[in-house]
């Protein structure tokens, strides 16, 4: 008999064995015991074939920011199948089950790191974020000057110090993780070694930080966070002052980062990397929570959404905007209330996700025929969606 269910406490060890095999790493006994200690078996869903764990995935209870608004987010991770059970549709069934679970848990959006983008696109997830990876030789590091009265303070790896700065920074983007104490302690600090330093302006305000490690002549910047241009320049000067210890710096940045324009020689390695995928889990709830672009003339919109794996999302939605266009009253229309086709925009949940998270524009999605409707309605939808860079500094 085959079944899909959450794992029991005593089955977590088998789940970790499957992860070790699939993702090609090895835990020490101490690491395994530690992970079993903090892992909630109710967050791990397994496909059991004749009583044996054949495939599994994790649903983490996260939160993310979209247009400054905090959304409950289901983070899908640890998706794996033993090879003898592969290509039998088990992961697909687990993903469909995960959508139901996330909806019940009030998680209106989901993120995951795809092993293959094409596979997860079949189930409604879509690319939502790219990032830049810089490798900067020491002779091409920025030559910034510190602002008068500013200072750098090396600090302990303390979430109480770093999280307030991180949250102000993260809210500027769409798709950043809201880090709780467990994430800082169990995942962030434990997976990275190094030193943390905070930037203070002349008024003593904490305006940024860097968390980094210098080893074997390479400075790995785990995270560089700044709330203004002064903090950016001050932190880069601090990094450059390690020049006698290193040959190069490796750092990750948002896709719209302007550092290459600011340095004296921008000819260093700059790689754009496509990273995570996202999916709207509950369209109606998502529309209700979403913060739209403020505008004087916020005409209603009707959107037909198709979703072959979450039938609760299927249908036509009418958005009547309020609060100067920033909020919407959402109505899922019954068959008799649906207007004529020329008054409707149509797309899949995949396309909807890419649009509303800010990764793509409505005009482009219409151009490639993933959004259907009149030019007037396409322009109206594009005007309703705020422009904000997508970014994710974490991994799960």
Range list of β-strands (E), 2-129: 2-6, 44-49, 52-66, 69-81, 109-112, 126-127
What torsion, rounded to 10 degrees, do the Cα atoms 291, 293, 296, 298 define? -70
> What stretch(es) of the chain map to CATH 3.40.630.30?
2-124, 132-274
**206 — phi, psi (to 5°)?**
-80, 115
171 C-beta neighbours (distance < 10 Å), count: 17
Query: Tens digit of pLDDT for each residue in 199-212?
Result: 999 999 999 999 99
C-alpha atoms less than 13 angstroms from C-alpha of 285 in its C-beta half-sphere: 15
Query: Tens digit of pLDDT for each residue in 37-70?
Result: 889 999 999 999 999 999 999 999 999 999 999 9
Q: Is the per-residue pLDDT at 299 higher than 90? A: yes
For domain 132-274, is the CATH number 2.160.20.70? no
Taking a C-beta distance cutoff of 8 angstroms, is the pair 171, 68 a contact?
yes
* Mean of pLDDT over the chain: 97
Q: How far apart are CA 234 and CA 33, in angstroms?
A: 42
Structure token pair of residue 136: 């900067």
Class of 2-124 in CATH: alpha beta
Task: Quote the pLDDT of residue 40.
Answer: 94
Nearest to 393 by CA among 159, 212, 188: 188
Task: Quote the pLDDT of residue 58.
Answer: 98
Q: How far apart are CA 39 and CA 59, in angstroms?
A: 11
Task: Quote the pLDDT of residue 1.
Answer: 87
State mean pLDDT over 196-223.
Answer: 98
Fold classification of 282-384 is Nonspecific Lipid-transfer Protein; Chain A (3.30.1050)
**2 — phi, psi (to 5°)?**
-100, 145
390 C-beta neighbours (distance < 10 Å), count: 25
Query: Tens digit of pLDDT for each residue in 134-162?
Result: 999 999 999 999 999 999 999 999 999 99
pLDDT bucket at 381, cuts 50 / 70 / 90? very high
Sign of CA dihedral 67, 73, 78, 81: negative
Task: Quote the pLDDT of residue 43.
Answer: 96
Nearest to 132 by CA among 31, 38, 268: 268
Residue pointed to by tokens 């959402």: 330
> What stretch(es) of the chain map to CATH 3.30.1050.10?
282-384
Q: Is the per-residue pLDDT at 298 higher than 90? A: yes
């Amino acid at each position: 008999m085959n079944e899909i269910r959450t794992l029991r406490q005593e089955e977590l060890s088998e789940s970790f064995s499957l992860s070790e095999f699939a993702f090609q790493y090895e835990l020490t006994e101490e690491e395994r015991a530690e992970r079993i200690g903090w892992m909630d078996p109710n967050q791990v869903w397994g496909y059991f074939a004749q009583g044996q764990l054949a495939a599994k995935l994790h649903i983490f209870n996260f939160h993310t920011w979209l247009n400054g608004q905090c959304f409950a987010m289901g983070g899908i991770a640890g998706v794996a199948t033993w090879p003898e059970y592969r290509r039998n549709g088990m992961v697909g069934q687990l993903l469909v089950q995960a959508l139901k679970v996330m909806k019940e848990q009030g998680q209106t959006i989901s993120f995951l790191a795809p092993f293959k983008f094409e596979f997860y696109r079949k189930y409604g997830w879509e690319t939502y974020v790219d990032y830049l990876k810089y490798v900067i030789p020491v002779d091409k590091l920025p030559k910034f000057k510190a602002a008068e009265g500013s200072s750098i303070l090396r600090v302990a790896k303390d979430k109480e110090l770093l999280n307030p700065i991180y949250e102000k920074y993260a809210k500027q983007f769409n798709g950043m993780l809201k880090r709780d104490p467990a994430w800082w302690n169990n995942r962030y600090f434990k997976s990275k070694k190094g030193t943390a330093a905070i930037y203070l302006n002349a008024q003593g305000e904490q305006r940024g930080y860097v968390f980094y490690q210098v080893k074997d002549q390479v400075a790995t910047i785990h995270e560089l966070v700044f709330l203004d241009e002064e903090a950016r320049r001050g932190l880069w000067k601090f990094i450059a002052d390690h020049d006698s210890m290193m040959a190069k710096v490796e750092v990750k940045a948002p896709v719209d980062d302007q550092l290459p324009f600011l340095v004296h020689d921008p000819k260093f390695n700059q790689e754009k990397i496509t990273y995570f995928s996202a999916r709207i889990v509950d369209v109606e709830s998502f529309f209700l929570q979403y913060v739209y672009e403020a505008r004087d003339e916020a005409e209603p919109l009707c959107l037909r959404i198709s979703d072959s794996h979450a039938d609760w999302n299927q249908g036509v939605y009418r958005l009547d905007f309020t609060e100067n266009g920033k909020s919407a009253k959402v109505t899922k229309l019954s068959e008799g209330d649906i207007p004529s086709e020329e008054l409707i925009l149509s797309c899949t949940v995949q396309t909807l996700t890419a649009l509303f998270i800010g990764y793509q524009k409505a005009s482009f999605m219409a151009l490639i025929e993933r959004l259907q409707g009149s030019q007037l309605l396409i322009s109206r939808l594009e005007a309703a969606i705020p422009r904000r860079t997508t970014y994710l500094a974490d991994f799960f």
